[in-house]
C-alpha cells in the first residue's frame, strides 16, 4: 500500500532502480519531486477530497477576500444568513450594479482573488462558502506525511509515483520513457476521476425532478395524474 510520502519515495526508488546513496538523487530532491507531483495531481481535476467549507461573519461589505489557501475563482456555493446567493459572471455583476444600484437580487461573483456580494440584497448573518482549496505542500522532513489521496483514493498516490519517475527520467535525459510514465500518471488520474463521476451521475437535481408541477387548465388536475402509463 502506498500511503505516506515515505512509501511514495521508496516505490520510486524501487521502480527506478536507483539509490539515494549513489549521490544522484538526494532525499531533498526526491521530497521536492513528491511535493511537485502531488501539486500537479491535485490540480488535474476538481477532486471531492479537495473541497472545503469556510464560515465567517458577513461584514456588510461588497468586496471580500477569498479564503486563505483556496484556488482562485473556485467558490461554487455561497450563503449569507442561510440565504443562497446566485453566482453570476463578474462583468454581469458590475453591469447589474450599474443599472440597478438599489437592486435587491441575491447575487455574488468572484474575480482576482476576491468575491463580491450584492449588499443591497439585504442579507446578513454568517457567510458560508463552499469551494476548492489548494492542498498543502508535503513537508520534506516528514516521511509520514499524507497526500490528498491517502486514505481516500490511494491509486492517486500511484499516479504521483509515476509522475516522479517521469521527473527522474527527464533528469537523466531519457525523454521517451519520461513521457510514457507521465502518460501513465494521467491515465490513472483520469480513470479515478471517471469513477468518481460515475458515482455522481445519479445525483438528482431539483430542476430535473421539477420544483413546480404542471397544471392542465383544460383537463384539470396535474399532468402526471392525467396521463398514466397503462391506463387503458
* Residue 42 pLDDT > 80: yes
Q: What is the pLDDT of residue 10?
A: 94
pLDDT band, very low/low/confident/very high, at 200 (cuts 50, 70, 90): confident
What letter does residue 164 receive in the DSSP assignment?
H
- 38 and 135 in contact (C-beta within 8 Å)? yes
CA distances in angstroms from 1 to 4, 30, 88, 154, listed in the order given: 9, 19, 44, 8
pTM of the model: 0.77
pLDDT average, residue stretch 112-135: 95
| pLDDT-derived band at 207, boundaries 50, 70, 90 | low
The C-alpha atoms of residue 135 and residue 51 are separated, in whole angstroms, by 10
At CA 15, angle to CA 149 and CA 143, rounded to 5?
45
Least confident of 64-68, 119-123, 160-164, 196-200: 196-200
| Beta pairing partners, 130 | 53, 77
Amino acid at each position: 500500500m502506498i500511503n505516506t510520502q515515505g512509501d511514495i519515495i521508496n516505490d520510486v526508488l524501487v521502480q527506478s532502480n536507483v539509490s539515494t546513496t549513489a549521490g544522484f538523487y538526494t532525499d531533498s530532491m526526491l521530497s521536492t519531486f513528491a511535493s511537485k507531483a502531488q501539486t500537479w495531481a491535485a490540480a488535474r481535476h476538481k477532486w471531492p477530497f479537495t473541497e472545503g467549507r469556510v464560515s465567517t461573519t458577513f461584514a456588510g461589505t461588497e468586496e471580500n477576500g477569498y479564503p486563505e489557501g483556496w484556488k482562485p475563482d473556485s467558490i461554487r456555493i455561497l450563503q449569507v444568513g442561510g440565504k443562497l446567493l446566485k453566482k453570476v459572471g463578474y462583468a454581469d455583476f458590475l453591469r447589474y450594479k450599474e443599472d440597478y444600484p438599489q437592486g435587491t437580487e441575491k447575487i455574488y461573483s468572484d474575480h482576482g482573488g476576491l468575491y463580491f456580494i450584492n449588499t443591497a440584497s439585504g442579507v446578513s448573518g454568517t457567510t458560508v462558502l463552499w469551494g476548492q482549496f489548494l492542498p498543502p505542500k508535503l513537508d520534506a522532513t516528514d516521511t509520514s506525511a499524507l497526500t490528498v489521496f491517502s486514505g481516500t483514493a490511494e491509486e492517486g498516490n500511484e499516479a504521483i509515483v509515476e509522475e516522479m519517475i517521469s521527473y527522474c527520467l527527464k533528469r537523466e535525459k531519457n525523454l521517451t520513457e519520461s513521457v510514457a510514465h507521465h502518460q501513465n500518471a494521467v491515465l490513472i488520474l483520469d480513470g479515478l476521476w471517471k469513477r468518481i463521476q460515475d458515482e455522481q451521475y445519479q445525483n438528482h437535481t431539483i430542476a430535473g425532478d421539477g420544483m413546480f408541477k404542471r397544471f392542465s387548465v383544460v383537463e384539470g388536475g396535474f399532468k402526471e395524474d392525467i396521463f398514466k402509463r397503462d391506463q387503458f
